[in-house]
Amino acid sequence: MADMVCSARDCARAAEFALLWNNPRIHRPERRKVWLACPDHRSYLHEYLALRGFLKDDVAVAEIPEGAG
């Protein structure tokens, strides 16, 4: 899990969380995209995806499902 960096703009901190999401207008229902988050940006990224109805799950980096990305 080296080089897992937060997905927030201009953040270079190590990611501890993975936000699994899917845009139903362009992705198959089972598809899971991943945004990585450090503790400082987790709630912001979570809220951003949830507000749009894209957020599917919020897990620790170690729990990213096989095939997500």
Task: Output the CA–CA distances (angstroms, integers) from residue 7 to 11, 23, 29, 54, in the order listed.
Answer: 7, 17, 23, 16
Give me the residue label for tokens 């927030």: 8
Per DSSP, the three-state class of 19 is strand
pLDDT of residue 2: 59
For the chain, which residues make up each domain, given as ranges? 17-63
Q: What is the pLDDT of residues 9-63, one digit of tens each?
A: 999 999 999 999 999 999 999 999 999 999 999 999 999 999 999 999 999 999 9
Query: 12 φ, ψ to 5°?
Result: -120, 15
